Amino acid sequence: MTKERSAFIYGADAYPYKFSDTHPFHPLRLQLTHSLLESIGALKGVDIISPERATDEQLAYIHDTNFIEAVKEGGKGSLDTVKAQTFGLGTEDTPVFPHMHEASSYLVGGTIAACDAVLRDGYEHAFHLGGGLHHGFRGRASGFCVYNDSSIAIEYMRRKYGARVLYVDTDAHHGDGVQWAFYEDSDVCTLSIHETGRYLFPGTGHVTEKGSGEGYGYSINIPLDAFTEDDSFLYAYRKALKEAVTFFRPDIILTQNGADAHYYDPLSHLHLSIQSFREIPTIVHELAHEYCDGRWVAIGGGGYDKWRVVPRAWSYIWLAMTDQLHLAKERIPASWLQQWQKEAAEILPATWSDPSFPVIPRKTEITEKNRLTVDKALYHIRREQEKK
Confidence of residue 12 (pLDDT cuts 50, 70, 90): low
Q: In 3-state terms, what secondary structure has residue 242?
A: helix
Please state which of the four CATH numbers 3.40.640.10, 3.30.230.10, 3.30.40.10, 3.40.800.20 is assigned to the domain occupying 29-45+103-135+143-386. Answer: 3.40.800.20
Question: So where are the chain's domains?
Answer: 29-45+103-135+143-386
- The mean pLDDT value of the chain amounts to 95
pLDDT beyond 80 at 182: yes
pLDDT at 3: 54
**What does the pLDDT look like over 314-339, one tens digit per residue?**
999 999 999 999 999 999 999 999 99
Separation between Cα atoms, residue 28 and residue 158, nearest integer Å? 32
Higher pLDDT, 63 or 388: 63
Separation between Cα atoms, residue 245 and residue 381, nearest integer Å? 11
Annotated catalytic residue within 34, 135, 194, 262: 135
User: In this structure, how many other beta carbons lie within 10 angstroms of the beta carbon of residue 76?
Assistant: 13
Catalytic site residue 135?
A: yes
Which residues share a beta bridge with 351?
Answer: 331
Are 256 and 171 contacting, i.e. CB atoms less than 8 angstroms apart?
Answer: yes
Separation between Cα atoms, residue 268 and residue 35, nearest integer Å? 26
Mean pLDDT across the stretch 292-308? 97
Separation between Cα atoms, residue 254 and residue 248, nearest integer Å? 13
What are the percentages of helix, strand and coil residues in the chain, rounded to 5?
40, 10, 45
User: In this structure, how many other beta carbons lie within 10 angstroms of the beta carbon of residue 37?
Assistant: 27
Separation between Cα atoms, residue 104 and residue 87, nearest integer Å? 15
**What does the pLDDT look like over 349-378, one tens digit per residue?**
999 999 988 889 999 999 999 999 999 999
Written as one letter, the residue type at 372 is L
